[in-house]
Amino acid sequence: MTVVVRFPPSPTGFLHIGGARTALFNWLYSKKYKGRFVLRIEDTDLERSTEQSVQAIFDGLEWLQLDYDDGPYFQTKRMDRYREVIDQLIERGQAYYCYCSKEELDELRTQQREQGLKPRYDGRCRQRSPVPDVQPVVRFKNPLEGEVIFDDQVKGKIEISNTELDDLIIARSDGVPTYNLTVVVDDMDMGITHVIRGDDHVNNTPKQINILKALGVSPPIYAHVPMILGQDGKRMSKRHGAVSVTEYRDQGYLPHALLNYLVRLGWSHGDQELFTLNEMIELFDIKDVHKSAAVFDPEKLLWVNYEYIKSSTVEDLKQHATRHFSDAGITVDSMDNWKDILGINQDRSKTLVELVQRSRFFYIPPEEYDQKAVKKHFKAPALQTLKSLRDQLAGLDTWEAESVHGAVHKIADQMNLKLGQVAQPLRVAVAGVPVSPPIDATLTILGQEETDRRLHKAIEFIEQNVQ
């Protein structure tokens, strides 16, 4: 049997973390068993579905590099097929028209509550004659006896008595099919063998199984994954931070770092924290997903991203960071030694945005200096220190870290200063801030001429502004 899984987002919002994890689990399962991954857009909610949300789903999957083998299929383009199945169920006596008014149903529920019964439709229209001038809904005729039993790959054996299920609506009065009908038809037509989805769908599963059986189709294998919670124990929402996958992209996360973090939300392999994509595919199995809810930890995600940035090649960093550099008005390879710039900052950057911030001064000379740094490091004595440094550095025959390092130490010795009293004014002069990579490496990357220009500008600044 060829494994066929699906990811069926509704385009009523962006692709969020929970949806991305579901897509990842399905994608990994298909790759592990050399199956097919189907993308299906469930866009029948016409009032809330938007083209913007559809594009956000595409963008999120593309950024995460979760490629699909079939699709995208759009439910709005399959309406004729749904109506065909609905008519088929009606003709077989497995579905019927329901003419109950809202008031009638409200009264039924009130009576059931008063009797201590669970509110549910009582099937009164199963034998009811057509009511003139009423546009009916269509209900599925659920079995009155027996049980629905399925072996959930995450939760284990689940049994639901058919007496707990009512005759659900499969088509509204305007003819639009409902979720449980469209999902069943899609899974049937697309040959879905495994349904991996959030456990908020557990209650839908018995209904869908009964419809599939009515259509003469064997149900797929189900796996319901626990939800993701915020650190406060409540379901993930905007208050827990970024919820759109593309927000994490914009904040400077690497796609594989986010995938690595997501795969560990509810799944583990011993104590291993970091996985290559190939390791994820090889080791992941839906049966190993935990039954309890996972807790989203932004700090842990940041740590994973930092580890990925540290271990990336500069070529990979460039590929993923280019858009962030462009947003800052910088072309990464506009400097011949761009590899050195990225390389010297990758161990210091937890996100690609931070990488850009730390690299910016190499590309763009500081237009102004950090005010606190000026007060601390650009005091009057720093003027002579920087002048002496400028002369010493300008006289170097070779421009490399070792010679620069020697020049800085020589000035410190000559002026009887601590190394920090020389290096810090120099750092502010060339970077604009009091924090940078090691000063000798920083100057080596900047080059002798650019270092001289920045020292000249800093000297002028002190002469004009510091008394």
91-139 per-position pLDDT tens digit = 999 999 999 999 999 999 999 999 998 899 999 999 999 999 999 999 9
The fold of the 80-171 domain, in CATH, is Glutamyl-tRNA Synthetase; domain 3 (3.90.800)
- In angstroms, the CA 55 to CA 45 distance is 16
pLDDT of residue 159: 97
pTM listed for this prediction = 0.93
pLDDT at 1 over 90: no
Same fold, 80-171 and 365-467: no
- Residue 209's φ and ψ, nearest 5 degrees, are -65, -45
pLDDT at 251 over 90: yes
> Bridge-partner residues for 70, per DSSP?
38
Mean pLDDT of 217-223: 98
Average pLDDT, the chain: 95
Q: What percentage of the chain reaches a pLDDT higher than 70?
A: 99
Q: How confident is the model at residue 238 (pLDDT cuts 50, 70, 90)?
A: low
The fold of the 4-72+180-228 domain, in CATH, is Rossmann fold (3.40.50)
pLDDT (tens digit, 9 = 90+) per residue, 201-219?
Answer: 999 999 999 999 999 999 9
Contact between 180 and 212 (Cβ < 8 Å): no
pLDDT of residue 165: 95
Contact between 225 and 197 (Cβ < 8 Å): yes
Select the more confidently predicted residue: 313 or 235: 313
pLDDT at 84 over 90: yes
Domain boundaries, the chain: 4-72+180-228, 80-171, 365-467
Domain 365-467 falls under CATH 1.10.10.350: yes
pLDDT at 409 over 70: yes
pLDDT at 78 over 70: yes
pLDDT of residue 286: 95
Q: How confident is the model at residue 359 (pLDDT cuts 50, 70, 90)?
A: very high
* H helices present in 65-175, as ranges: 79-91, 102-114
pLDDT at 316 over 90: yes
Residue 462, amino acid: I
pLDDT (tens digit, 9 = 90+) per residue, 28-76?
Answer: 999 999 999 999 999 998 889 999 999 999 999 999 999 999 999 999 9
Q: How many C-beta neighbours within 10 Å does residue 223 have?
A: 22
